[in-house]
Structure 1
Amino acid sequence: MDPVPRPLRVQVRDDHTLVVAGVSAMLHPFRDRVEVVGPGEEPVDVVLVDTFAALQPAGAAERRCGTTTKVVAYSWNLDPVLVEQALAEGAAGYLSKALEPEVLVGCLEDIVAGRTVVSPAPGAHDRWGTRAGGPDGWPGRSEGLSERESEVLALVVRGLRNEQIARRLFLSINSVKTYIRSAYRKVGATTRAEAIVWGYRHGFEPQVSPRVAAELSRRSGPPAPPRRPRARH
């Protein structure tokens, strides 16, 4: 009888402890396949490194962890230049933080098996649901949206509820509501439907069919002119 393989041991390196805790909680349902370990715990199969964190390059991290450890960039920023740089520095993969937990686990298993995994594929959509590398840096920037507001609004456009957005971005529900209010104010939306339509018209791509998007756009179009009162005879 073949022995049961042990779970992959994954270490998360991020400047924000809340992110580390969030990833651990996200992967906990898959603990039979993946185990998140803390600093100094050996052995380590995969190290997830946020490219935004002030950490050493992937190659240096791999040398410190040992030659068998796979170092993987784990980030919201899917700029092709950063992807190429990470792979050139020795990263075994480049994964998006927008991946669903089960997909992330599968990617990690593929990487440990020796495959290089890059998410998303060239030309795919970035964390805002738009084409990566746009001239504005992120959707809505020219309208005054901060990067975080754009990030939250993108998930609103894609149909996520506030609680889901909070879990996805490791934010409190109150923080999510604050970002939504400020984003709505900047784009002139007063309802979720209006925000979705605004996002659809400004580069965000909702996870709805074109027919539904068109219907939302029709409903939220310019208001009809006021009806003139009938003349009394």
Structure 2
Amino acid sequence: MRIVIVDDHPLFRAGLRAALESAGDILVVAEVETAAAVTPAVAEHRPDLVVMDLNLPDGSGIEATRALVAETPVPILVLTMSDDDGSLLAAIRAGAGGYLVKGAARDEVLHAVRTVAGGGAVFGAQTVPRLTALLAGTAGRGGERVFPELTERECEVLDLLARGLDNRRIARRLFLAEKTVRNHITHIFEKLHVSTRAEAVARARDVGLGADRPTDP
């Protein structure tokens, strides 16, 4: 089984590579540090599976996953430190076949690698109840549920951003001053680790915010 590892931490990559190749039937054919290098590496090495981190120095593993799914049918297993509902739901929506949090045992990782490479789906024991609730809607679709680092007001602003509203219309909708809206957006950028409005909107839409809702005239 041919594997490409995507992670920007050399020590973690080395440990993961050793754990995978110790199984005897797995070969790591490439290690990638950036989102931009993922698609070229997959095109060159044609792996059976990509093990994807989400926090990369030049972008999100979510975007890299979405790009791969659009261009090639290679299965993707997310292995990340991100244990929040927003990242989990965004990864699944992007097309990942599995999601594990770093720290999972070697046998759990090997099982996930084989299952996802074979077309199955695997999620860590700690994520299954949350994923079930998120997809079933029993946990609600509010931004505060999938982005717990945001305040309720920040989630309202993010939702309106995802609907396509500009600052003036957001301020009008929420009965706020435009300066207050700008401050909320600055805090949203900081907390979600994004630098542009487009990135914030993409994160919001990944988890279902702003979907199928008309914008103000």
TM-score, length-normalised on structure 1?
0.45
Higher radius of gyration, 1 or 2 = 1
